[in-house]
Amino acid sequence: MAPANEDGSHESRCLRFKEIDWNAPLELADVKTKGDVGDVVLKMDNLKKYYEVAASALFSSGEKKVVKANETLSFEARESETLAIVGESGCGKSTFAKVLMGLETATEGTITLGNKQIQDIPIEDRDTQTVADVQMVFQNPFDTLNPSMTVGRQIVRALEIFKVGNNEAERWQRMLELLDLVKLPRAFATRMPRQLSGGQKQRVGIARAFAGDAKIVVADEPVSALDVSVQAAVTDLLMEIQREHKTTLLFISHDLSIVRYLSDRVMVMYLGHVVELGSTDQVFSPPTTPTPRRCSRPSPSPTPRCKKAHRA
């Protein structure tokens, strides 16, 4: 123990106590360096997606009701950019992600990827390059992995679909490199999904999404089903890979603190519409006009700020 102050009323166990510069500025633990964003790679123009559902679940009268999940959704996304998409549950976030992926087709409007329009092409009719270019990390890794296939086999299967590698040996080697990329031990290649934790499963999901060197990755609430203790590590991993690969990341989330931390721009959705779109600083800055921008930002409080409009 060494005396820590002049009169000896405090002592310190630290041997190098005297070397500490108490006036040195604080260093931020992890300063995120954002890469430069590139050209526009994805453009949505007046995208509409309506679902037709039976008017009554009890009586099959043949009457149909229309659910307007997406209404005139327009935005652009650039190379290397992280665009966060926020909005209350049911506002149509997953719907536009499904249309982009080809899991649903659009009712109206266009989605332009490079110079190709893909809004009407379901995933089974898309060419290999388009399928590899637009990938998704799903909300729940428990549902998306095949329970009866080893981790290695699932990633090799994705490589086969994306036509990566000339033979099985090359694909196996690439799969091991993808495990390195998502920071899983290579020994996990022979494990079954049930032998993995939620966070580890999501890492496999991320490895699959990047297996074909995707240009655009949609992460639909990628950590919300995971244990809180692993959420930050999985989010950081996704960001790290996105920066290295210059991927366009569409990050759908409820968590405004994560959104603020990782995104370049933020798009706020409400009842199928885009109600605000701007740089992260702009969207999170307090409103400058005397009239509050009603509904323009998702409220972190459980009380909704706006009266919910009746959905047709």
Q: Is 93 near ligand ADP (CB under 6 A)?
A: yes
Least distance between ligand ADP and beta carbon 54 (Å): 10
Per-residue tokens: 144:
């998306």
- The answer to whether 107 contacts ligand ADP (rule: CB under 6 A) is no
Q: How far apart are CA 74 and CA 271, in angstroms?
A: 14
- Residue from the set 80, 95, 200, 248 that interacts with ligand ADP by CB under 6 A: 95
Which of Mg ion, ligand ADP, none does residue 92 bind to, with CB < 5 to 8 Å depending on kind? Answer: ligand ADP
Q: Does 259 bind ligand ADP (CB under 6 A)?
A: no
Task: Indicate whether 92 belongs to the interface with ligand ADP (CB under 6 A).
Answer: yes
Q: Which two tokens stand for residue 130?
A: 């388009």
231, 221 contact by CB (below 8 A): no
Nearest alpha-carbon partner for 136 in 210, 239, 86, 246: 210
- The binder of 179, among ligand ADP, Mg ion, none, by C-beta within 5 to 8 A per type, is none
Q: Please report, as ranges, the residues that interact with Mg ion according to CB under 5 A.
A: 94
Q: Of 213, 97, 102, whose CA–CA distance to 162 is shortest?
A: 213
Nearer to Mg ion, 219 or 234 (CB): 219
Q: Categorise residue 90: left if φ over 0, alpha if ψ from -120 to 50, beta otherwise.
A: left
Pick between residue 104 and residue 211 the one whose CB is nearest to Mg ion: 104
CA distance to 162, 235, 252, 274, per residue, from 277 (Å): 33, 22, 14, 7
Q: Establish if 306 lies at the interface with ligand ADP (CB under 6 A).
A: no
C-beta neighbour count of 77 within 10 angstroms: 21
CB of 38: closest distance to ligand ADP in angstroms? Answer: 28
d(CA 140, CA 150): 18
Report how many residues bind ligand ADP under the rule CB under 6 A: 12
- 95 contacts which partner out of ligand ADP, Mg ion, none, CB within 5 to 8 A by kind? ligand ADP
Site residues for ligand ADP per CB under 6 A: 51, 53, 67, 69, 87, 89-95
